[in-house]
Chain A
């Protein structure tokens, strides 16, 4: 079973305590954006076989949303971090680079 560390309450939560919330770090579009931008924001998704960043909610715990860096090919978890950020923290990126040199995801690498 997938186990993720909740960065808020510090619990190592089982998958059954969590709710998957899809891709993380979406750029939210507003008035004045083009149709392409909205398509991007609403429907197009990163779907890598490898390093992926996701939103999760500790739904049967503290109830808070957080982000996880995970490999979709091996189910390895690189780390979790609070959701109030526009990009993954340096230590998480470094951990990924150690495990998967040359990785890239969206505009991150």
Chain B
């Protein structure tokens, strides 16, 4: 693999950019792999990457039924933060956030990580109490966050109207080291690194059946033929239920649509990420100048990657009150992704009832921020059978009542 550098750009400039290699090799499946990862989104590719990097397991195939990073990895609003209430969540999300800081260097691929700061607005008394509590919990967990009052909010984000009649801004939970990154680049960077380690990234390869013998996984059937494996990692977000059904077990997950939209590009006006959880409105400004807006999920199961129009209306209506200047912006694009939501709004990184099958899912509405940490932890779980980061995230925690209840902790958003 040729390294990307300023020198490489200069060299290619001299020869009309004819010397760039494919970022990752196009492969057809081999007969057998040590590990198959289903799902070449951020989480799947990160899992494969850390299997190779941390554990030297490189006989790995990453199967993707669509195109690389074309699911939720390419559909989210790219927010990165780690200000969670519960200890297991803070541990894995903070690990993830810290890995984002060096990801561009580690992968030799510019993922445009921008630690511009994430502000979660408190617009009800309930949220004020909740976020103060979270700030204290974060202090104990070693996650740097602080509670700030409305004047400070106005100072950090001048375009905000803090005296809205319905949703006044009462303060906020500020994580200065949170931010955004280029979501596609995260998938592309990991794919390039995986391919460089000799792994096979195989696109348009849909798994149609999971083969087992004596309660142990032996391989999968795909539209590109049968492939054997010793271990199988299911990292398919919204389609986790479909894959689990093929493997013969059930998951505490429901798949629903989550939508986002972007405006026409405008001059820089907001250099942080703002999350208004009470009204389900999340906004940041991309480097191109578009206002990137995320909303809430629909209430019903859906696999169509498009959601209900009235949710967009609700999101935009609420944001217009808090950000009056966006009222006359035109929206350029709107889209939806299928997110996998668990009962306690925390993810599942777990062994399964089938030996050799591991599952990484349930990231729900907030998986992008967790990509490197999730990959790190999942790789350790798959290689060693246990990981300190995944212990609490077992799929069997519901039976035992050991929830990691972020739905209560965060109010709504995750």
Q: Which A residues lie at the B interface, using CB under 8 A?
A: 1-2, 15-16, 19-20, 22-23, 35-36, 38-39, 42-45, 47-49, 52, 54, 70, 72-75
Taking CB atoms and an 8 Å cut-off, the chain B residues in 296-354 that contact chain A are 298-304, 308-310, 343
Given contacts A1-B310, A16-B310, A54-B301, contact A43 B343 (CB under 8 A): yes
Q: How large is the interface on B (under 10, 10 to 19, 20 to 34, 35 or more residues)?
A: 20 to 34
Residue of A22, A47, A52, A75 contacting most chain B CB atoms (<10 Å)? A47
From the candidates B250, B252, B253, B301, name the one contacting A72 in the complex (CB within 8 A): B301
From residue A100, how far is it (CB to closest CB) to chain B in Å? 14
Q: Which B residues lie at the A interface, using CB under 8 A?
A: 239, 241-242, 245, 250-255, 298-304, 308-310, 343, 398-400
From residue B395, how far is it (CB to closest CB) to chain A in Å? 10
Assembly CA distance A19 to B299 (angstroms): 8
From residue A1, how far is it (CB to closest CB) to chain B in Å? 6
Assembly CA distance A49 to B298 (angstroms): 16
Closest 6 CB pairs of A and B: A47-B241, A20-B299, A43-B252, A39-B399, A43-B398, A20-B300
Q: Tell me which residues across on chain A come within 8 A of B299, comparing CB atoms.
A: 19-20
Show 28 residue pairs from A and B whose CB-CB distance is below 8 angstroms, ordered by the A residue. A1-B308, A2-B308, A19-B299, A20-B298, A20-B299, A20-B300, A23-B254, A38-B399, A39-B398, A39-B399, A42-B343, A42-B398, A43-B398, A45-B250, A45-B252, A45-B253, A47-B253, A47-B254, A48-B241, A49-B241, A49-B242, A49-B255, A54-B300, A54-B301, A72-B301, A72-B304, A73-B304, A75-B302
Assembly CA distance A61 to B298 (angstroms): 20
How many residue pairs between the two chains, A and B, have CB atoms under 8 Å in the bound complex?
65
Assembly CA distance A75 to B298 (angstroms): 13
Assembly CA distance A49 to B400 (angstroms): 28
From residue B234, how far is it (CB to closest CB) to chain A in Å? 14
Q: Tell me which residues across on chain A come within 8 A of B250, comparing CB atoms.
A: 44-45
Residue of B nearest to A35 (CB): B399
From the candidates B251, B304, B310, B400, name the one contacting A47 in the complex (CB within 8 A): B251
Assembly CA distance A70 to B298 (angstroms): 15
| Known A42-B398, A47-B301, A48-B241; 16 more pairs at CB < 8 Å | A2-B308, A19-B299, A22-B254, A23-B254, A36-B399, A43-B252, A43-B343, A43-B399, A44-B250, A45-B253, A47-B253, A48-B242, A49-B242, A49-B303, A54-B300, A72-B255
Q: Tell me which residues across on chain A come within 8 A of B309, comparing CB atoms.
A: 1
Q: Tell me which residues across on chain B come within 8 A of A52, comparing CB atoms.
A: 301
Q: Tell me which residues across on chain A come within 8 A of B302, comparing CB atoms.
A: 72, 75
Q: Is the CB of A15 within 8 A of B254?
A: no
Assembly CA distance A38 to B250 (angstroms): 14
Assembly CA distance A19 to B55 (angstroms): 48
Assembly CA distance A20 to B303 (angstroms): 16
Given contacts A39-B398, A54-B300, A72-B303, contact A44 B251 (CB under 8 A): yes
